[in-house]
Structure 1
Amino acid sequence: MIETHPFGFFVPKNAQYLLLGSFTTKEANFDPTYDWFYGTKRNYFWPILRAVYGLPLATKKEKQDLFTHLRMALGDIIYQCERIKDSNLDVNLVNVIYNLDAVAETLSKNKIKKIFFSSRFVEGKFRRFFRSIINHHPDTELITLPSPSPRYAALTPAQKLQIYKSLLPKLP
């Protein structure tokens, strides 16, 4: 079954940063509590950001407010895909259509200083399939964060937290 990304891009006014993930999990299709990016309970993304910024981030609005204050856009590199093995693993996403237009529009309408990737997988796909966009924005720094997925166990959650703290922008 072909899945289309349910959220689009979140781009606050005067965005200076862009955080890119891969694609939502299958739970986004049926779980009403999965109302925004990184919505599964197992993912460490929001717990890490709660610790980095000292904010509750319990609601979609609180999360969007954080990204607005950080002037950070948020989106995924994949617009449409199919899953094999009914799996959330990025490597099991096939027949992929990349979000080229949304990324290009975000970069053309904003002065993005840094693009953060939520994993090496996302960085690798971006460098391969978004090469022309990279070439049009040579001054934009590309930074890879450790995956917030619990499946990425090379680092502990505490180690991931320290890396996120050192790399993400501070609140104004």
Structure 2
Amino acid sequence: MLETHPFKNFVPRNVKYLLLGSFTSKTVTTDSNYDWYYCSSRNQFWPIIEEVYDIRLATTAAKKKFLRNLGIGVADIIRQCERSAGNSLDANLTGIVYNPRLRTILTRKPISKIFFTSRFVEKLYRKVFGDLVEELTSIELMTLPSPSPRYATMTRSEKVERYKQLLPYL
């Protein structure tokens, strides 16, 4: 079954950085608390961010305000897809339709860095938007350790330390 991304791109007026993920978790359709990016109870993104910045972000409004203060936008590279195995693994996403607004965001907004949430997303970006990689050389491309609990190469503490090194200061 073809799924369409349930969330709009989050691009604050003062955007300088773009956090780019793949696609929402399958949980978005079954978990009533999953109301925005990275809100699956298994995803470590927001707990990592809370630790990096020593802040509590209990609501979607608080998360948006926090990102706005840092000039960080959030989007996923995939707009529509199917799940071949019925789970949230990126490797099982098929029939992919890419986010058509990304090109506009990157060419019309003063983005200085893109933070990919995984190597998978970075590879897709380079494949699909290779012309922008060549054209927009002033945009720095950085890959964060995946916030997925399945990415067990690093502990959560190690991920926190790496995020501290890469993300902008508050």
Compute the TM-score of the two structures, normalised by the length of structure 2: 0.97
The 3-state SS of whatever aligns with 2:107 is: helix
Identity in percent: 49
Q: What do the CA deviations read for 1:30-79 (whole angstroms, capped 9, x no partner)?
A: 32210000111111100000011111111000110111001011010000
For the aligned residue pairs, the C-alpha RMSD in angstroms reads 0.9
Distance 1:52 1:102 in 2: 29
Q: Which residue of 1 aligns with 2:46?
A: 46
Show the 5 A alignment for 1:110-129.
110-129=109-128
Query: Is residue 2:152 matched to residue 1:153?
Result: yes
**Gaps in structure 1 of 5+ consecutive residues:** none
Q: Which residue of 1 aligns with 2:3?
A: 3
Q: Which amino acid aligns with 1:75?
A: A
Q: Which residue of 2 aligns with 1:62?
A: 62
Show the 5 A alignment for 1:91-106.
91-99=91-99, 101-106=100-105
Distance 1:136 1:13 in 2: 23
Distance 1:110 1:19 in 2: 14
Q: Which amino acid aligns with 1:138?
A: T
**Gaps in structure 2 of 5+ consecutive residues:** none
CA contact (8 A) 2:14 2:68 kept: no
Distance 2:127 2:106 in 1: 17
Once the two structures are TM-superposed, the CA of residue 136 in structure 1 deviates from its matched residue by: 2.5
Query: Is residue 2:26 matched to residue 1:26?
Result: yes
Distance 2:135 2:18 in 1: 16
Q: What do the CA deviations read for 1:77-126 (whole angstroms, capped 9, x no partner)?
A: 00000001111100000000011x21111112211000000000110111
Q: Which residue of 1 aligns with 2:88?
A: 88
